[in-house]
Amino acid sequence: MPNAPLLAPSLLAGDHGALAASAQVAAEAGAPWLHLDIMDGHFVPNLSFGPETLAALRRAGLKTFFDTHLMLSEPHRYADAFAKAGANLISIHIEPAYDHRATLARIRALGCQCGIVLNPGTPASAIEPLLDAVDLVLVMTVQPGFGGQPFRADMLPKLREIDGWRRSRGLNFRLEVDGGIDLGTAAQCRAAGTDTFVAGTSFFKASDQAAFAAAMAAL
């Protein structure tokens, strides 16, 4: 039985002068998750926001599930801070050198779900040994760092490969895509086994965000 489709609007495409209001728009549209892109200007060539932003969103009354995507060279140094700030799930990239398994275990010990992320250039085999230790695998469908980039259809075989491992091993981690996702590209990813869809630009630019969220939930 495949996991139900789930939408995670990316706050990166919201109004950075009124992030709580943008997060509220996503919640009121019916999106169950909120995707929070954390950038350090080193692992990716851009900066976004930090744990204090998550804490402020919680203080503003946001009850949404916080899907926190750490694009950091040293994510192991920040897991505690994001858990304390209100993250529900913390995803870390496989590419930098640090103890991935220990960091995933630490995230769970902090009471959060944990995810592992791969850049477009990273083969699925890089994360294959960690599949038993994660709640989510995030396949980047753009090079991370910026919203608004075109979807990379060449990531579809990678999704099918990871979904195949999930089925053959009887695992039930979520399989998420991030980058260039709209209703059309989401449908392609759904057919390849994806159940969790990050959407920044397409969600915040949609004329009817509730209709967009409903269409995603029906994929």
* Catalytic residue ranges: 37, 178
Q: Is 67 in the site for Zn ion (CB under 5 A)?
A: no
Choose the contact partner of 145 out of ligand DX5, Zn ion, none; CB within 5 to 8 A by kind: ligand DX5
Q: Is 181 in the site for ligand DX5 (CB under 6 A)?
A: yes
CA 29 to chain centre: 18
Angle at 217 between CA 89 and CA 159, to 5 degrees: 65
Token look-up 């706050």 returns 11
Looking at 19, 104, 189, 199, which residue binds ligand DX5 (CB under 6 A)? 199
Give the residue with the Cβ less far from ligand DX5, 20 or 198: 198
Cβ(194)–Cβ(177) under 8 Å?
Answer: yes
Is 148 labelled as part of a ligand binding site? yes
CA 139 to chain centre: 9
Which residue, 174, 116, 176, 178, is CA-closest to 143?
A: 178
Q: Is 178 in the site for ligand DX5 (CB under 6 A)?
A: yes
Looking at 29, 69, 70, 139, which residue binds Zn ion (CB under 5 A)? 69
CA 172 to chain centre: 16
First-residue to last-residue Cα distance in the chain? 15
DSSP 3-state of 181: coil
Q: Is 37 in the site for Zn ion (CB under 5 A)?
A: yes
Q: Is 67 in the site for ligand DX5 (CB under 6 A)?
A: no
Token look-up 């920044």 returns 200
Token look-up 């995933």 returns 104
Which stretch in 22-30, 108-116, 147-155, 207-215 sits in contact with ligand DX5 by CB under 6 A? 147-155
Site string for Zn ion, 153-182 (x = CB under 5 A): -------------------------x----
Angle at 9 between CA 153 and CA 49, to 5 degrees: 105
Q: Is 10 in the site for ligand DX5 (CB under 6 A)?
A: yes
Residue ranges of the binding site for a divalent metal cation: 35, 37, 69, 178
What are the residues binding ligand DX5 (CB under 6 A)? 10, 12-13, 35, 37, 69, 142, 144-149, 178-181, 198-201
Which residues are near Zn ion by CB under 5 A? 37, 69, 178
